[in-house]
């Protein structure tokens, strides 16, 4: 059985019957047009799958699989949007999905690294930040800052921190945050949150799909 999380930039797959159940990545632009999977979530999932699971549902089930604590907030930062689930005493207490204030957040961060030839592994978390409410529109802050004499690296770092702070406020400003998505591998982004961050990686929603299968048996 083939499971998939169809992201805007990257898709995650798992052959549930495969050896060791190892998930893998494929760039969305490289998807075969005739691809079919058994169970999927994410953007365009209905197009490629026989059965669809809502992204918030998959995120919540993935959190239940990976997080042992009864109280937690799990935030998923994707290329296209941001979403979170909050648990209290082991029960779902709140959730949210924002494709406007989080518009193209992850995609913009990745694009800026390539455009300015930067390495997020070597950029320090800046003392200052920009007030960012949208990944695309927020880029104007970078252009204005560079024009005023701030280095490109510093301007982009402030932008990334602004994105992180916006996401942090969106999910309720928790003391500890569990993070899902490709930005878990971005130390500048992770370090920009004003709280303890526990990165869970790219495959949280895939874990949610696995739980969906088990719960249906």
Per residue in 98-131, pLDDT tens? Answer: 855 545 678 889 889 999 999 999 999 999 998 8
The DSSP element (H or E) to which 96 belongs, if any, is: strand 91-98
pLDDT band at 12 (very low <50, low <70, confident <90, very high): very high
CB-CB contact of 15 with 2 (8 Å): yes
Domains (range + CATH), the chain: 1-67+204-217 (3.30.420.40), 69-199 (3.30.420.40)
| For residue 196, pLDDT beyond 90 | yes
- CA quadruple 51, 57, 63, 69: dihedral positive or negative? negative
pLDDT by residue (tens digit) across 16-46?
776 667 899 999 999 998 999 999 999 889 9
pLDDT at res. 122: 96
* Residues 86 and 75: beta-carbon distance below 8 Å: no
Whole-number Å distance between alpha carbons of 75 and 1: 27
Give me the pLDDT at residue 138, please: 78
Question: For 77-105, what is the mean pLDDT?
Answer: 84
pLDDT at 155 > cutoff 90: yes
The pLDDT of 72-91, averaged and rounded, is 94
Looking at the whole model, is its pTM more than 0.75?
yes
Query: Which DSSP symbol is given to 20?
Result: G
Lowest-confidence range among 68-72, 76-80, 164-168?
76-80
Structure tokens at 47: 């197009």
């Amino acid at each position: 059985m083939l499971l998939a999380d169809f992201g805007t930039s990257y898709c995650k797959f798992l052959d549930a019957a495969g050896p060791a159940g190892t998930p893998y990545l494929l760039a969305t632009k490289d998807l075969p047009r005739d691809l079919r999977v058994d169970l999927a979530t994410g953007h365009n999932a209905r197009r490629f799958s026989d059965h669809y699971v809502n992204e918030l549902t998959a995120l919540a089930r993935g959190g239940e699989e990976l997080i042992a604590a009864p109280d937690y907030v799990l935030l998923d930062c994707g290329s296209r949007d941001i979403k979170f689930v909050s648990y209290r005493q082991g029960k779902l207490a709140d959730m949210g999905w924002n494709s406007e204030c989080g518009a193209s957040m992850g995609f913009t961060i990745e694009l800026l690294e390539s455009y300015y030839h930067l390495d997020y592994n070597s950029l320090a978390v800046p003392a200052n930040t920009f007030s960012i409410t949208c990944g695309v529109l927020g880029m104007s802050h970078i252009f204005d800052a560079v024009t005023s004499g701030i280095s490109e690296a510093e301007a982009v770092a402030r932008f990334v921190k602004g994105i992180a702070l916006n996401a942090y406020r969106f999910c309720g400003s928790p003391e500890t945050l569990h993070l899902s998505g490709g930005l878990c591998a971005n130390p500048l982004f992770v370090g920009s949150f004003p709280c303890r961050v526990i990165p869970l990686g790219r495959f949280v929603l895939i874990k949610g799909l696995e739980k969906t299968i088990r719960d249906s048996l």
